[in-house]
Amino acid sequence: MYSIILLNKEGEIIYFSENLPSLFGYKKEDFSKVLAERLEPFLPTSLAPSGKLFSQGEVVIPYRKGGRELLFFDLLIGAKIIFLLSRTKERLSIRTLEAVLNSWEEPAFLEREGVVILANERMGELLGCGKEDLMGEVWENFIILGEGKELGGNSLPVIVQTREGKRVDFTARIHELSWAESSFFRFVILRKDKEEKNELLNRAFLIQRKKLLQMTEELEKMNRELLRLNEAKSEFVSAVSHDLRTPLTTIMEGIRLCEDGTLGEVNPEQKKFLRLALEEAQRLADFINDLLDLSRIESGRISIRRRKMEVEKLIFRVLNPFQKVKESKGITINISLPEGLPPVFADEAHCYRILNNLLGNALKFTPLGGEIEITTEFSPERQEVIIGVKDTGIGIPKKEQGKIFQKFCRIERSGGQNIPGTGLGLALCKELVEINGGKIWFRSEENKGSQFYFSLPLYSEVLELKDDLKWAEEQTKKSNLPLALFLIEGLGEKPANFYEELESILQKENRASGFYRWLPLKEELVIFLIAPSEKFYDNHLVLCDFLKKKFTIMPLISYQIFLPKEVNQDEILKMVLKKEKV
Ligand code: ADP
């Protein structure tokens, strides 16, 4: 059984299948009220976009004489709201029907009981409106059949009336789609008579197109093979590095235990060699870590979590472990921090590695008694903070400057002062700065010193929201589960532990899928939730329950579901920020 219910944008029922009221024992005029009550929770609220939207759910409808039945529905939103009710869970996929429609090059639509359920782009173009505007419309509004004719059989001549009132002759071809015994949808495909005559020409064109597609496919195949080989290389580097890291940790731990005397007394001579071994092992560990990180970046597997971050705190965290080197080389490190430096938006672990590398280089390439300065500067025009590390060291020869961000870079210096290194540090810094949305550059003069700078974007809610959406999109694609977006408006003063409690109830609710994230935007709260669609309604109820308990005046919750293929960051961003500038 398939029945349909049509509602206008205001949520008022304007049509339902005739079989429905008698099925549940109601008179037609009473049934509207019963339905309205039952469907109300599923109606889209302020979040409903003008674009298409599909979702699924379950609704319980009471029999007039007692008892009730659970029906499954597909919800489609276009110019009208369409509920397709079914008694069985196994039903036609709306996405598939849409894909079939889109595959027709002619204008086409899917109809049931005289109502357009879905239409393709061409259909909209033909009539002069969007295809969503046709969803829920009675097709008799734009298709005129001959006197006494019905839309049936295989094909029949029709006149199509555009929105501007123009009339065009077409042949309508009708394909019936049976499902669950007798119920069916009908595909109506419109063909221009002239087009039939041009069929031969069309066919020649199609053959050419097929050849082109074949060639594209071959190219894509080769491309995929290249990508696969590249991936295999990255995987190899990553696997080898991984396998080296584990035994190295054990070796270092062993040396450390010997060196600090835990395993028995060691004389100063032995201690000296153990210390040396430990330092070399540490260098090897750093090299492996750099190699691993670079291969992760190359294969797009590096994890990045940008957050609001204070630059000052970062500088002091990085400086701390360098105290010993600094003292042993008699180098002074000055820090210049302007007052009121705004927070940046970056991954703290990445920034730590960047600054750690730059400072490590500055200390390594600056002779005894030299000077290093860490600078910070806020650029209002570029909306970024620039962090600099300046040294008075050996500098980089002009002719070598072009390659210092390349992997495994080795620099030829006059006088044979070649200091050992892996040449991976700066390559990694560049990659890390760039994935955080910044830039890295330097100035250097041989025997005078070098100045390295990197920029980081200022923190803003919009940037954070963009990252969250990117994350949400990745999760939906990875899990192939729909994305639910809840918008809670008018939260005002939040009770103590609001977020902690919310987190714990959502965690409980989403044990199976487990992905969610929220973003407080001034008075509002946006929650992204990636959960199976059956769970989505539970989440809605859980949120409502929670808010009801916490607030005397219930905040407004609106929600929307996006299937994995439908998640469109820009559209969601605009919706969430509404009139704010994006
Ligand atoms: P590594 O230092 O491990 O060799 P890096 O990628 O960090 O690798 O640096 C690449 C090269 O750039 C270094 O070998 C060094 O010659 C040069 N370099 C980097 N930083 C400085 C600096 N502050 N002063 C002089 N030379 C530098």
Q: Is the pLDDT of residue 328 over 80?
A: yes
Asked whether 160 lines ligand 1 (CB < 6 A), one says: no
Confidence (pLDDT) at 313:
94
Q: If you take atom 10 of ligand 1, which residue's CA is the nearest one? A: 423
Cβ count near 554 (within 10 Å) = 11
Confidence (pLDDT) at 529:
72
Confidence (pLDDT) at 580:
45
Q: Is the pLDDT of residue 247 over 60?
A: yes
Tens of pLDDT, residue by residue over 124-172, are 999 999 898 999 999 999 999 888 788 777 788 899 999 999 998 888 9
238 CA distance to ligand 1 centroid (A)?
Answer: 24
Confidence (pLDDT) at 182:
52
Task: Determine the Cα–Cα distance for residues 186 and 279; give it in Å rounded to an integer.
Answer: 76
- Work out the angle at residue 571's Cα, subtended by the Cα atoms of residues 569 and 577, and round it to the nearest 5 degrees: 95
The best mutation among 294, 361, 412 to test binding of ligand 1, ranked by most ligand atoms within 8 Å of the C-beta, falls on 361
Asked whether 356 lines ligand 1 (CB < 6 A), one says: no
Helix, strand, or coil (residue 415): helix
Asked whether 354 lines ligand 1 (CB < 6 A), one says: no
447 CA distance to ligand 1 centroid (A)?
Answer: 14
User: For ligand 1, what atom is nearest to the CA of residue 395?
Assistant: 25
| Rg (alpha carbons) of the chain, rounded to whole number | 33
247-251, 292-296, 431-435, range with the lowest pLDDT: 292-296
User: For ligand 1, what atom is nearest to the CA of residue 410?
Assistant: 14
Asked whether 394 lines ligand 1 (CB < 6 A), one says: yes
C-alpha distances out from residue 152 to 157, 158, 337, Å: 11, 12, 79
Q: Cα 362 from chain centroid?
A: 38
Q: Which string of b and e fits 87-117 if b means at least 16 CB within 10 Å?
A: eeeebbebeebbebbeebebbbbbbbbebbb
Asked whether 421 lines ligand 1 (CB < 6 A), one says: yes
Asked whether 396 lines ligand 1 (CB < 6 A), one says: yes
Closest listed residue to residue 519, CA positions, set 568, 575, 572, 462: 462
Q: Cα 570 from chain centroid?
A: 10
Confidence (pLDDT) at 531:
64
Asked whether 425 lines ligand 1 (CB < 6 A), one says: yes
Q: Is the pLDDT of residue 47 over 50?
A: no
With tokens 């650029």, the residue in question is 379
Tens of pLDDT, residue by residue over 274-295, are 999 988 898 888 888 888 888 8
361 CA distance to ligand 1 centroid (A)?
Answer: 6
Q: If you take atom 13 of ligand 1, which residue's CA is the nearest one? A: 423
Asked whether 404 lines ligand 1 (CB < 6 A), one says: yes
Asked whether 252 lines ligand 1 (CB < 6 A), one says: no
Q: What is the mean pLDDT of residues 496-520?
A: 74
Asked whether 516 lines ligand 1 (CB < 6 A), one says: no
319 CA distance to ligand 1 centroid (A)?
Answer: 19
Task: Determine the Cα–Cα distance for residues 400 and 165; give it in Å rounded to an integer.
Answer: 72
241 CA distance to ligand 1 centroid (A)?
Answer: 22
The best mutation among 404, 412, 424 to test binding of ligand 1, ranked by most ligand atoms within 8 Å of the C-beta, falls on 404
Task: Determine the Cα–Cα distance for residues 138 and 15; give it in Å rounded to an integer.
Answer: 11
Asked whether 437 lines ligand 1 (CB < 6 A), one says: no
Q: pTM (2 decimals)?
A: 0.57
Task: Determine the Cα–Cα distance for residues 165 and 173; give it in Å rounded to an integer.
Answer: 23
**How would residue 267 be classed by pLDDT, with cut points 50, 70 and 90?**
very high
Tens of pLDDT, residue by residue over 106-126, are 899 999 999 999 999 999 999
Are the beta carbons of 103 and 187 closer than 8 angstroms? no
Task: Determine the Cα–Cα distance for residues 464 and 498; give it in Å rounded to an integer.
Answer: 21
Helix, strand, or coil (residue 505): helix
Asked whether 450 lines ligand 1 (CB < 6 A), one says: yes
423 CA distance to ligand 1 centroid (A)?
Answer: 7
Confidence (pLDDT) at 15:
93
User: For ligand 1, what atom is nearest to the CA of residue 389?
Assistant: 23
Tens of pLDDT, residue by residue over 530-551, are 666 666 677 777 888 888 888 8
Q: Is the pLDDT of residue 215 over 80?
A: no
Tens of pLDDT, residue by residue over 3-39, are 899 998 888 999 999 889 998 999 998 999 999 989 8
Q: Biggest alpha carbon distance in the chain?
A: 111
Q: Is the pLDDT of residue 202 over 70?
A: no
User: For ligand 1, what atom is nearest to the CA of residue 357?
Assistant: 7
Alpha-helical (H) ranges within 299-424 are 311-319, 323-329, 348-364
147-156, 258-267, 336-345, 527-536, range with the lowest pLDDT: 527-536
420 CA distance to ligand 1 centroid (A)?
Answer: 9
Confidence (pLDDT) at 180:
54
Confidence (pLDDT) at 198:
62
Q: What is the mean pLDDT of residues 388-394?
A: 95
C-alpha distances out from residue 322 to 318, 325, 350, 360, Å: 8, 6, 18, 8
Q: Cα 434 from chain centroid?
A: 19
425 CA distance to ligand 1 centroid (A)?
Answer: 8
404 CA distance to ligand 1 centroid (A)?
Answer: 7
Q: If you take atom 15 of ligand 1, which residue's CA is the nearest one? A: 411
Confidence (pLDDT) at 480:
80
Are the beta carbons of 62 and 24 closer than 8 angstroms? yes
2-16, 216-230, 298-312, range with the lowest pLDDT: 216-230
Token reading at 341: 């430096």
Task: Determine the Cα–Cα distance for residues 107 and 129; give it in Å rounded to an integer.
Answer: 13
Are the beta carbons of 502 and 486 closer than 8 angstroms? no
Q: How buried is residue 132: exposed, middle or buried, by Cβ count under 10 Å (0-12/13-18/19+)?
A: buried
Q: What is the mean pLDDT of residues 93-113?
A: 85
Tell me which H or E stretch contains 502.
Answer: helix 498-509
